[in-house]
């Protein structure tokens, strides 16, 4: 690809104070409050290649703990590639390689000493198309914990209930936990996949287009869920739906041809973006 890597965008200003739980994010942070947010994931000067083709150019950004970070941009801009770098899902792609660093709580996740299974337990993922196992609802959620060694029935029961509640699905399925997960609606299946991700008690949840196959009602439920998940987890989401990014995210990054064009506060990106390319994209003038 004959793309010239552009200038890297500044890192996130760390001065914004996250409003306490339950408070609207539109509320103004109180001046003078000490910053309570910290960096969960830091990406530093990341270049990424699929074979000879470079897909990310000098990407640098910080994902804040207990916040929702959205990546937007046209198809092929590199946003999903970046998301998949955050829990090394790209390791599975032949010919994939990178330079630069991705840190989780300050530790390089590509360090040879890192156990990838442990990493993916800490950094879970939810995909575009819901992919429940052809098992019961209960077994879907219990699958991860069992794999990681939880055998005790009572602990598993509690974990399954807790995860389904966390995913906002418990009330709808509590009377049919032993029925097949494949009998659930699309939106329910997607929330089941979120419950399955929650069951291994991750710290970060990556979501790749989690609503693109869902109707508006199911989408609304997932969006509400994302909003509550950040109280407990750190969330990064890739979406084609810009209004969704505007609704759910605290910070937002705009990608174009492998370059992170602009990264910052979602409120700023959607009201007064700094870069003309961002402006053109989010106002629909682009393309």
Positions in the binding site for another protein (CB under 8 A): 242-243, 246, 270-273, 278-279, 282-287
Closest separation in Å from C-beta 77 to another protein? 17
Closest separation in Å from C-beta 279 to another protein? 5
Closest separation in Å from C-beta 243 to another protein? 6
* Cβ proximity to another protein, 23 vs 283, nearer residue: 283
* Cβ proximity to another protein, 139 vs 262, nearer residue: 262
CB atoms within 10 A of CB 275: 16
Q: How far is CA 69 from CA 111, 201, 246, 286, in A?
A: 24, 19, 10, 23
CB atoms within 10 A of CB 129: 13
* Cβ proximity to another protein, 76 vs 100, nearer residue: 76
Which H, E and C letters describe 232-261, residue by residue?
Answer: CCEEEEECCCHHHHHHHCCEEEEEECCEEE
Render the burial of 43-55: b for 16+ CB within 10 Å, e for the rest. beebbbeeeeebb
* Cβ proximity to another protein, 5 vs 220, nearer residue: 220
**CA 136 to chain CA centroid, nearest Å:** 26
Going by their DSSP bridges, the two strands 96-104 and 251-256 should be labelled as unpaired
Closest separation in Å from C-beta 274 to another protein? 9
Per the listing, tokens 């200003």 go with 13
8 A C-beta contact, residue 223 and residue 190: no
* Cβ proximity to another protein, 149 vs 284, nearer residue: 284
Closest separation in Å from C-beta 281 to another protein? 9
């Amino acid at each position: 690809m004959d793309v010239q890597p552009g200038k890297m965008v500044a890192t996130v200003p760390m001065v914004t104070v996250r409003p306490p739980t339950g408070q609207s994010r539109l509320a103004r942070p109180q001046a003078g409050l000490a910053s309570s947010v910290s960096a969960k994931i830091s990406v530093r000067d990341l270049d990424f290649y699929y074979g000879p083709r470079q897909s990310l150019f000098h990407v640098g950004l910080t994902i804040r703990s207990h916040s929702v970070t959205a990546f937007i941009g046209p198809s092929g801009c590199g946003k999903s590639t970046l998301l998949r770098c955050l829990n090394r899902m790209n390791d599975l792609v032949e010919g994939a390689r990178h330079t630069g660093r991705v840190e989780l709580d300050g530790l390089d996740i590509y360090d040879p000493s890192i156990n990838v299974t442990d990493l993916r337990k800490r950094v879970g993922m939810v995909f575009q198309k819901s992919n429940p196992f052809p098992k019961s609802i209960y077994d879907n959620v219990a699958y991860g914990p069992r794999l990681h060694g939880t055998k005790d029935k009572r602990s598993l029961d509690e974990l399954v209930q807790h995860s389904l509640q966390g995913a906002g699905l418990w009330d709808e399925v509590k009377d049919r936990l032993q029925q097949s997960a494949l009998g659930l609606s699309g939106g329910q299946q997607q929330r089941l996949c979120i419950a399955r991700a929650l069951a291994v008690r991750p710290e970060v949840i990556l979501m790749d287009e989690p609503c693109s196959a869902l109707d508006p009602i199911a989408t609304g439920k997932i969006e509400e869920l994302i909003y509550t998940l950040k109280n407990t987890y750190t969330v990064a989401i890739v979406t084609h739906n810009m209004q969704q990014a505007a609704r759910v995210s605290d910070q937002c990054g705009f990608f174009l041809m492998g370059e992170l064009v602009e990264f910052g506060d979602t409120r700023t990106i959607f009201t007064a973006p700094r870069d003309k390319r961002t402006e053109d994209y989010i106002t629909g003038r682009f393309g």
